[in-house]
Amino acid sequence: MKAEVYVTLKRGVLDPQGKAIQHAIEANGSDAIAAVRQGKYFEIEVAPALEPAAARAELDRIAREILSNPVIEDYRLEIHE
Amino acid sequence: MKAEVYVTLKRGVLDPQGKAIQHAIEANGSDAIAAVRQGKYFEIEVAPALEPAAARAELDRIAREILSNPVIEDYRLEIHE
């Protein structure tokens, strides 16, 4: 079983890294982009012994408590059986 | 129009950051995880003037040349109309 976790900054939180990327793209000569926000992406291989329901609960806890900072970030968890 | 770009290390490229995250999760008391690989995630707001076909070609170029390092990384581009 595999899982993917996406961590993004909450709306309203400034993203200087995204701004820097946007400026780099503009400096590269492209005007295709209006805004960029950078997030994090985790591919997780779930331990085979775990039941799907237990895995979902545990991965949700890991995404919330370890992979993201809930003060400034949102996370999204996708599980592929 | 919005686009998402996912950048991941190619298979076979060592991911010490992913290993460190895996060890942190194990040290936190969880045995739910067999492996973690960390990637990057970009949310892009496309300039409104751009035609969809031109946008796709230009975003593909940006993902390949600016957002990823093709020697060690793969990228995936998703466009939402």
Give the pLDDT of residue A20.
96
CA B10 distance to own-chain centroid: 11
Å between B42 CA and nearest CA of chain A:
5
Give the pLDDT of residue A81.
78
Å between A47 CA and nearest CA of chain B:
5
Q: Which residues pair with B19 in a beta bridge?
A: none
Q: Do the Cβ atoms of A45 and B32 come within 8 Å?
A: no
Assess contact for B36 and A5: CB atoms under 8 A: no
Give the pLDDT of residue A45.
95
Q: Does B6 touch chain A (CB under 8 A)?
A: yes
| Residues in chain A closer than 8 A to B30 (CB atoms) | 58, 61-62
| Residues in chain A closer than 8 A to B58 (CB atoms) | 30, 32
Q: What is the mean pLDDT of residues B1-14?
A: 95
Q: For chain B, which residues make up each domain, given as ranges?
A: 2-80
At B26-81, the pLDDT tens digits run 999 998 999 999 999 999 999 998 888 999 999 999 999 999 999 999 999 999 97
In this model, does residue A76 exceed pLDDT 90?
Answer: yes
* Coarse DSSP helix, strand, coil percentages of chain A, rounded to the nearest 5 percent: 35, 35, 30
Closest CA in chain B for residue A66: B25
Strand segments, DSSP code E, in chain A are 2-9, 33-46, 73-80
In this model, does residue A49 exceed pLDDT 90?
Answer: no
Fold classification of B2-80 (topology level): Mth169; Chain: A , (3.30.1280)
Å between A22 CA and nearest CA of chain B:
9
Give the pLDDT of residue B49.
87
Q: Which residues lie closer than 8 Å to A2 by C-beta, 6 or more apart?
A: A43, A44, A45, A46, A79, A80
Q: What is the mean pLDDT of residues A32-41?
A: 94
In this model, does residue B6 exceed pLDDT 90?
Answer: yes
Å between A71 CA and nearest CA of chain B:
19
Q: Do the Cβ atoms of A34 and B45 come within 8 Å?
A: yes
